[in-house]
Amino acid sequence: MSTGQSTLPKLSPGADTAAGRPARAHAPRLRALDGLRLIAALMVAAYHYGGRDGEVSQAWGASPKTQFPSLHQWFAYGCLGVQVFFVISGFVICMSGWGKPLRSFFASRASRLLPSYWAAVILVTAVFALPAVAYKAVSPSDALLNLTMLQQPLGVDRVLGVCWTLWAEVRFYALFALCVVLPGANRRRIVLFCAVWTLAAAIAQASGEATLNIVLMPEYAPFFIGGVGLYLLHIDRRDMTAWGIVLVSWLIGQHYAVARLWHAPDPHFFSYRSSGTIMLVVTLGFVAVGAIALGFLNRVNWKWLTVAGALTYPFYLVHEHLGWVAIEVLHRRLGLPSAATFALTVASMLLLAWLLNRFVEKPLTPFLRKHLNPISARLH
């Protein structure tokens, strides 16, 4: 998921300095992007609380089908919030890497991702270790390895179920850093990056080579690439190459979303997702980021959206596993109705996200950024 800032520079077409960095001007924060982040996170939460079976059924005491007889079918589409996150990430990371040296880019990403992530890993591990909690905690050794964000490629049990998306984000950051940030970002290099990655991802898919698939992520590449293309449109909406990047990315992205999430109608499945609705949700994600990129939502500038954007990442990290605990307490032990339990669980996870943002992110993010990139800190 995207965890970058939403204050994006508006650049004149082709405005590259001799160093290959854009000439930046002050631009207002794109608060609509903050709001879209929260919407995507709430989509994923709806999926985890009422759009699937598994551990959440244990929390409810029965399948969410019985808790939400009609809504569970719509909640099942909430998993597509991840694809929306990836589009946002491509947009924001292109901005973050354009005009920054590699060390500064690394410091900004690490300082933004790690504080809340570390706190969430420690918190979920501690809660799951409580005798009153029915969910199994990972081993102490695996919990420690989870702090590296490398648990998935190393085959270790995950503390946070959602961390698989962070592994995809990290691979995107690495590709962008090596191919764009390190040699110096400019429009030509970014367009080449998008074109080569699109073609290479298709080749990786066709080859079936596991290593290529891990590196190039054919299933998720079009969403990141589409976001990068949308950032190029944010710079110049008349850029036909950027329009082509976005269009091709959308065409490939909807294909992968349908291929992964569609199945023939079957009463034995938890729910049925129609291919048309999957395509519609993916399309709306591209359109929403595109509307922000092109300035159509500049009037959506409410200050509270900045807070919403700040809460999205910590909320995303803690909502699933700690949400199971909250659902079990509120519904099975206190006897609250399903709708009230759902709403209070979301509210409690948002409150926890605010606490993490206030007492973890705000002090530790600048501290890490300063010490990971001391030269930049001295210059500022």
| Residue extents of the structural domains in the chain | 31-371
Q: Is the pLDDT of residue 29 over 90?
A: no
> C-alpha angle with apex 36: 43 to 27, nearest 5 degrees?
165
Q: What is the mean pLDDT of residues 215-237?
A: 97
Alpha carbon distance, N-terminus to C-terminus of the chain: 28
Q: Per residue in 309-333, pLDDT tens?
A: 999 999 999 999 999 999 999 999 9
- Give long-range contacts, CB 8 A cutoff, 24+ apart: 303-309: 303/31, 305/31, 305/32, 305/34, 305/35, 305/38, 306/29, 306/31, 306/34, 308/34, 308/35, 308/37, 308/38, 309/6, 309/31, 309/33, 309/34, 309/35, 309/37, 309/38
Average pLDDT, the chain: 91
CA distance 165 to 207: 24
Coil, strand or helix at 29: strand
Please report, for residues 77, 101, 217, the alpha-carbon distance to residue 262 in angstroms, rounded to integers and kept in the order given.
10, 42, 20
168 or 270, higher pLDDT = 168
pLDDT value of position 95: 86
pLDDT value of position 26: 47
3-state SS record for 284-338: HHHHHHHHHHCCCCCCCCCCHHHHHHHHHHHHHHHHHHHHHHHHHHHHHHCCCCH
Q: Which two tokens stand for residue 292?
A: 């922000």
Closest CA to 284 of 51, 31, 42, 84: 84
Q: Per residue in 336-363, pLDDT tens?
A: 999 999 999 999 999 999 999 999 999 9
Query: Greatest CA separation found in the chain?
Result: 66
pLDDT band at 282 (very low <50, low <70, confident <90, very high): very high
